[in-house]
A and B are shown apart, each in its own frame.
Chain A
Amino acid sequence: MKYRYFPGCSMEHNAITYHESLSAVVKKLGIELTEIEDWSCCGAKEFFSLDLLSACSLVGRNLAIASTMGEESHDLVTPCSACYLNLVKTDYYMATSEELNEKVNIALAEGELNYKPGTMKIRHFLDIIVNDVGYDLVEAHVKKPLYSLKVAPYYGCLVSRPGSSESYDDPEHPTSLDKLMRIIGADVVNYPLKTQCCSAHMTQIKEDVGLKMIHLLLQAAEENGADVIVTICPMCQFNLDAYQKSVNKKFGTNFHIPILFFTQLMGLAFDMGEEIGLGRELVDASFSLDKITAEPPEKEKPARAKRTEIPMPLSLGEEE
């Protein structure tokens, strides 16, 4: 399995653990990722908020470079949800607006590049794992299943709802990550806010509003008994991890829910060591990970409400 790979800026620094664990996991699974040469930032939300043509040209440069990297595969893979959105969006905008396509290509020509919309098929890394690698192959590599670890699967917004194109999963009730976590032995808890916003840039521009949302997300995880929240996006990880302390302070709560990348949990189940970057999260995960047991937990019988008969009229002479 060969893909072109767009890591995005976060993978270099704040989501370095995602980068490390992803690299370890792909090696194990026999996936070959070729990084786009000299890629630049995807522009986040910010370029698209200020100037359309520069935003599309910035992303277009990355798409153009990716499209010149040989004929083997036209799948462009990114692990970051925001990069995923921007790559998808630019490709779609260029395909639907001839005027924009023309202008972006005039701008790209200044750097001796060009891009024909539709050339690259943009995919998120989770999509590759569940649909190309497949659950069976993942399961075959599991050496230490994450028995008894209660995991809240958190998808966030952009992979579920890329806006300009269809997601490979359901936009509001995705299940691919749930299933992947079950395959590696974890106990997946119900997480009703699995596709809710992580507060994105709100933590920067209006912190109290951002913290309110993070509080809700952590509360929902705790109420459902989660030991960890597993994410697929650097921004989601950062907001929930880095601002958890502020949330506790502001709301008088005592959350201690580590936020890990799905690739880290996969690596853990594959019995990998240091290479998956555990220990660099701000909310320490060791306490939660100590809950993993060697044997599968005994299945508790779900408590069922006492059966009550449907009230029926008594027949003559019958006693209650």
Chain B
Amino acid sequence: MAKKPAEKPAVDLNFIDEVIRQTPGDSRLKNCIQCGTCSASCPYGIEMDYSPRRLFAMTRAGMKEQVLTSNTPWFCVSCYYCMARCPQKVKITDIMYTLKRMATKAGTNRTSELEGAPEFSETFTDFVESYGRNFELGLAIHFLLRYHPLVAMKLSTSLGVNLLKKGRMALKPDRIKGIKQLRAILEKAKELGGNQ
């Protein structure tokens, strides 16, 4: 039997247009000249599996799968240095958010290299959807116990106790009065959002 040729990763040349379509406003992604100013400006570029410049080259080359499983967008801290410096005024940070959302919708944000970043976002949004406000202690317990138990232990011993002592952490979540209204709004938003 003839050996099967190694499977080439699928190329999706429409990927870049999809990214542009899902980014509000003019993302200017196609204006990228690959100068690398973004990568050099990024405080966490060194921790990413592809630098922002490289990620955009891959996006243009249609390497959808690699782009959407990359940790790059999840390690973006949204500091906007790249956007302030980009000579082509590409909306880099906005595009990173788009890629995170696309990875979430495609379910490709579940690799261990992401250090639980997507789950952190999910835990955070769950609390806000339940109470209307962020609940730090709940977030720390839920997220850290699951993904970074060692950090959770440290928090519960020194840092957490100190914050409580100083009156800087609440034991119970604050709930807004209009939580029903907020939930109705968010439910509708999700219904309308579909794949965007």
* Chain A residues at the B interface, C-beta cutoff of 8 Å: 9-10, 12-17, 38-41, 43-54, 56-58, 60-61, 85, 92-93, 96-97, 100, 103-104, 106-113, 157-158, 161-164, 171-172, 196-197, 199-202, 204-207, 209, 213, 242, 245-246, 280-282
Contacts and interface: CB of A to CB of B under 8 A. Distances in A.
Interface string B164-183: 00111110001011100110
Contacts of A161: 79-81, 83-84
A207 B80 contact: no
Contacts of A196: 43, 79
A158 B134 CA distance: 19
Contacts of A39: 176
A101 B193 CA distance: 12
Contacts of B190: 51, 53-54
Nearest to B78: A45
B121 A50 contact: yes
Nearest to B114: A205
B62 interface: no
A107 B188 contact: yes
Contacts of B101: 48-52
B185 interface: yes
B174 A157 contact: no
16 contacts: A44-B124, A46-B124, A50-B118, A53-B193, A54-B189, A96-B25, A96-B26, A110-B181, A110-B184, A110-B185, A161-B79, A161-B83, A163-B80, A204-B143, A206-B47, A213-B43
Interface in B57-81: 74-75, 77-81
A40 B121 contact: no
B125 A50 contact: yes
B49 interface: no
Contacts of B80: 157-158, 161-163, 171
Given A40-B133, A53-B190, A199 B77 contact: yes
A10 B166 CA distance: 14
Contacts of A38: 176-178
Which bucket holds chain B's interface residue count?
Answer: 35 or more
A12 B174 contact: yes
Contact of A163 (B94, B128, B136, B178): B94
Contacts of B111: none
A167 to B, nearest CB: 9
Contacts of B192: 53, 103, 106-107
B52 to A, nearest CB: 14
A35 to B, nearest CB: 12
Contacts of B178: 38, 40, 111
Contact of A61 (B47, B168, B182): B182
Contacts of A209: 44, 47
B104 A50 contact: yes
Interface in B27-49: 43-44, 47
A283 to B, nearest CB: 10
Given A40-B132, A57-B185, A242-B159, A204 B144 contact: yes
A213 to B, nearest CB: 6
Interface string B121-154: 1101100100011101000100110011001001
Contacts of B9: none
Nearest to B180: A111
Given A14-B168, A53-B193, A158-B78, 16 more contacts: A40-B182, A45-B121, A46-B128, A49-B101, A49-B121, A50-B104, A51-B193, A53-B189, A56-B189, A97-B25, A103-B192, A111-B184, A163-B80, A197-B77, A201-B77, A205-B117
